[in-house]
Structure 1
């Protein structure tokens, strides 16, 4: 702390000071911006399951989005309290927070039309490959370990000028350890979580996202599709919510092989699902994608698979039509699975003799 030796000791005349300052502004968030911020907040709560943080006011709980989208509203006063909740939601008492790396401009790609012609055959190939795959099974006391490369969008809006800009996080590593029942875990995402990582699993885990729950489900596409639709609610498109729910299961979890195939078959039955012949994940691997356009956000969510092995590689979100200033072709999110494995303890990384998927 720097002390100023010339600091005056006499008390300030607050009334006189108030008269000298201009009247405070009374900015307010536009309704659509407020909804996006609230949705991000609720998504963070569902996705990471960190220790509960105080919320300034109750907000309606929208359906979980499959991926995190940080929405930064550049309005000076009105958003301050809510924004603080978003920024510090993952912090735990006594933890050392770190400043996030500088954002970079979102990449822009040429939009490739999706097609419904190959949906059935592609889903059949994906399901067959997933069913035949050898997936390690976590035992008592073990953890599911997933390392990925990720980048998500942060959209800024200047309330004074009305200008908006689209930025994304630099590609960075994200490591997650999860117990099979979801009760314990650890998340390490340097620059975006507390230094050294944060504990996961406090509170009740979302049962559909735990290995234990998934392993108990029958590999029945009809039943899984019904389950996906049962999570839909609110005013958002129900078909998109069902697609997102399945995406949230396969993205950062170890899914039993037979069940993974049934999940792909279930997804293929959702109206609006298409095949995109060329999509690149966050590791620049080119693959074939199952995708669906969200009619409300204008974003097409793509699940990317290896063209030869049909194994899941990662995901991508591409803006197809302009919404909230996000131009068509903008890549608003990218992920790539680097390693899926079973390890003996949280914060332990895979080594010789441990199973990898």
Structure 2
């Protein structure tokens, strides 16, 4: 199979131009970088409780990054740069099926088309051979915002290195290297982020918000069924059902590895969430430009950034789209870049280590 997908024919372009709306960025030139996530990145909160004078706005959250396989993505360039994104004035840019409807395919919005392409690339890759006693490894550059009691304005941290090892089956403690610290990771934590003493280390009871590789393997690969599960299990939590579903899928796709068919189902499920759009130029923490899938909530937009040609997941960014008491429009409040990911035999070891 060729790694370069064929481009649409002129007739297909004409039909897609009729169906696909222009995203809001076409109506507001120069605002392509203005987006942010409502909920920052989920993570194990194993570090010591931060001082009261410096607290994250949304809490420190666990990143979960799946390996998005490489492949050429000519259609992503077409969507981001051609007239296929044009739409009639006044058309709803966020049209999609109702939350958790589980019976209808998503409308052909630019985001749905792009996510379908990303899903096709993800599904085409072979599933890795992974043993229970191994670890998922992800190295990234990250920066999040925080605020204090005396200064409510969000301040973005300096980008820094982060390396994490997560037990494949959750039976062993993981490890986090960040800001010069080595932090053992446990699945059961108290409110301060410390391990609960009477619980076993590791992650013996993984969930949507705290998965293992084996847990991800168990998820349904039908996008409608998967999305319904996400809505059902996150009901009543977070900023609302649609935003919580989008955040949950993002968390499942970041600081983890997911089997190819599950990755594809997660992308297709995201296409069914109302309000998901395309940002045709976004930049990750490593300075790499790409096309992004995004969703706005409470004046912020979450961006999942993908390589324009390969459709590989690059990272995530958050940018304000409205002025608030704690941040200004255009302000970047979260940024990440995935640099390396793979499978290792023990914590502290990089993929491919033979010693």
TM-score (norm 2): 0.64
2:266 is the counterpart of 1:263:
yes
> Is the CA contact (8 Å cut-off) linking 1:72 and 1:155 kept in structure 2?
no
Distance 1:73 1:115 in 2: 41
2:334 is the counterpart of 1:333:
yes
Distance 2:348 2:207 in 1: 23
1:136-193 superposed Cα distances (whole Å, 9 cap, x missing partner): 23213111111111000012353xxxx64332111111111011122321111124xx
Which of 216, 221, 224 is residue 222 of structure 1 equivalent to? 224
- 1:301-340, aligned counterparts within 5 Å? 301-340=302-341
The SS at the match of 1:196 is strand
Counterpart for residue 198 of structure 1 = 184
Q: CA RMSD in A?
A: 3.3
2:287 is the counterpart of 1:284:
yes
Which of 161, 164, 177 is residue 176 of structure 1 equivalent to? 164
State which structure, 1 or 2, has the greater radius of gyration over its C-alpha atoms. 1
1:74-117 superposed Cα distances (whole Å, 9 cap, x missing partner): 7xxxxxxx99xx89xxxxxxxxxxxxxxxxxxxxxxxxxx9554
Q: Mark the runs of 5 or more structure 1 residues left unpaired by the alignment.
A: 1-38, 55-69, 75-81, 88-113
> Is the CA contact (8 Å cut-off) linking 1:115 and 1:276 kept in structure 2?
no
2:345 is the counterpart of 1:344:
yes
- 1:43-122, aligned counterparts within 5 Å? 47-48=43-44, 50=46, 117-122=109-114
Single out whichever of 118-127 and 132-141 deviates more from structure 2: 132-141
> Is the CA contact (8 Å cut-off) linking 2:226 and 2:269 kept in structure 1?
yes
Task: Please state how far the C-alpha of 1:234 moved relative to its aligned partner.
Answer: 4.4
- 1:160-175, aligned counterparts within 5 Å? 164-175=152-163
Task: Please state how far the C-alpha of 1:217 moved relative to its aligned partner.
Answer: 2.1
Counterpart for residue 132 of structure 1 = 124
Distance 2:238 2:186 in 1: 30
Distance 2:238 2:314 in 1: 31
Distance 1:312 1:276 in 2: 14
Number of aligned residues: 255
2:245 is the counterpart of 1:245:
no
Distance 2:348 2:337 in 1: 20
> Is the CA contact (8 Å cut-off) linking 2:153 and 2:325 kept in structure 1?
no
The higher relative CO (CA closer than 8 Å, separation ≥ 6) is in: 2
> Is the CA contact (8 Å cut-off) linking 1:293 and 1:300 kept in structure 2?
yes
Distance 1:207 1:299 in 2: 26
- CA change 1:240–1:307 in 2 (3 A) is same
2:278 is the counterpart of 1:299:
no
- CA change 1:189–1:213 in 2 (3 A) is same
- CA change 1:187–1:200 in 2 (3 A) is farther
Distance 2:354 2:221 in 1: 29
Distance 1:302 1:181 in 2: 29
TM-score (norm 1): 0.64
> Is the CA contact (8 Å cut-off) linking 2:161 and 2:179 kept in structure 1?
yes
- CA change 1:165–1:236 in 2 (3 A) is closer
1:208-252 superposed Cα distances (whole Å, 9 cap, x missing partner): 321111112231101111122121314722100010000000011
- CA change 1:226–1:278 in 2 (3 A) is same
The SS at the match of 2:256 is coil
